[in-house]
Amino acid sequence: MTTPLTWLVRIGAACVLAAPALSPGAASALTTATATATATAPLQPLSLTGLDLRAGSDPYTVPLTAEYEQVGIGGALTGTDRVALPGNEDPGCAARAAYLPRVPVRSWFCWPTAAQGDKADLPHSPWVPQGLATSGEAQLDGTPIGGDHRALITSWVWLNSPDPDNPDYRTNSVNLSVVDLDDRRYRNVLPVWVDGQGKLRRVYGHGGGLAWYGPYLFMTSSTNWNGYSGPDSTYNTIRVFDTRKIYRKRDGSGGDYKYVIPEVRHYITPIRLDYVSLDRHSSGGASLITGTYKASSGSTGSPAGTKLVRYRFQPPPDGDYRLINAPVQAWVSTVPADPADAISDVQGVQSDGDLLYINMAAGAHPGPDPRRRFATVNVATTPRTISAHTSWAYRPEDLSQWYATGELWGLTEGEEERVVFSVAIADVDPS
């Protein structure tokens, strides 16, 4: 690695100062919550019956046309046409420090103004960041297979609508941003599938979560294709992509299709899964931990009903992207004794063995900042213990663990409030 990392060090040191400090009351609440073991467990075991995956057919059977050349993740992370990402040295980005977690932040940056969305014109600026995966989970040395710089990938969902003044969000397009963390630049890579004639077609669905294991990128996807054809498009799925098989249009044209990553496999899921992450420390080997979004407010709202499921990878020599269809663990959230301990409105989960790190946004919650909710749950204890607080990022989304540095990475989704950040697990995990 030849590119210096000083921007991360510089920004990380500055952002600890820029991030809103914990007030004495908030610090006290965090300490109190950390010591709490609820009488009613926030998560209960869920029956594994009916939660099996079904492997779909491999749609990537026809080679791409000669118009494309294979460049892999390394090619996606290079080039002068990538977009620079502002850090806290940029006044516009520095002003967004208010949306960072209220615990020490190690590093952070913002998306450029064009990708921040517009609070005053939401239907006309519909791209919203959702999933997040890092090369620090993909590889223990922190660099992706086929690349020599540390990297991060986010998914964005386009809430399509035939009439932007009367939004109909049934049709969701997806795009991926591939970020070089060492020079803080990125480009977009379009997830596609290849039809029987070798034609590239856009992947639709709500790409709510990402996980990265070796070269393989996993994305949760919904049925929001609104009639567009695609492999098992009428089912909720986990779709799999190979980061070594990123292709570039040779002549530099193609618009959204200039850089593409074809789907190599998908799994039909029995329930809609809205986020996913990789756990390298789970019993029995690496696994995916994934779950549902369940709102706690509204006419049908309840703090109970969020489902979390763990699927294990097949063992070598058959293992790569292949998952074992049957889940190995599952939980469902309950109505806890203390309403502040509710596991609801979940936007992302990261598992480190028996410890689940969960971030949540909004919902029926008695705390002062319901859009900054975070909980650590130890599912191995009886009763299951929870450490909950409202000092996380504002309107958070997916989570990723950077194993070598002991960090959690996260991002926020709000229009004009979008930041990407890392924190030390030790600062959010009381154990």
pLDDT in tens, 44-96: 999 999 999 999 976 665 667 789 999 999 999 999 999 999 999 999 999 99
Q: Which of 153, 185, 187 is nearest to 86 (CA)?
A: 185
Query: Does residue 119 have a pLDDT over 90?
Result: no
This prediction has a pTM of 0.89
* 3-class SS shares of the chain: helix, strand, coil, % to 5: 15, 35, 50
The residue type at 358: I
pLDDT digits (tens, 9 = 90+) for 383-407: 678 899 999 999 999 999 999 999 9
- Nearest CA to 176 out of 249, 292, 262 is that of 262
Contact 388, 374 (CB under 8 A): yes
Q: Is 128 helix (H, G, I), strand (E, B) or coil?
A: strand
Reported as a single tens digit per residue, the pLDDT across 208-241 is 999 999 999 999 999 988 778 899 999 999 999 9
Other beta carbons less than 10 A from residue 204's beta carbon? 26
Give residue-wise pLDDT tens across range 262-313. 999 999 999 999 999 999 999 999 999 999 999 998 767 788 999 999 999 9
The CA distances from residue 104 to 43, 100, 422, in Å, are: 28, 9, 9
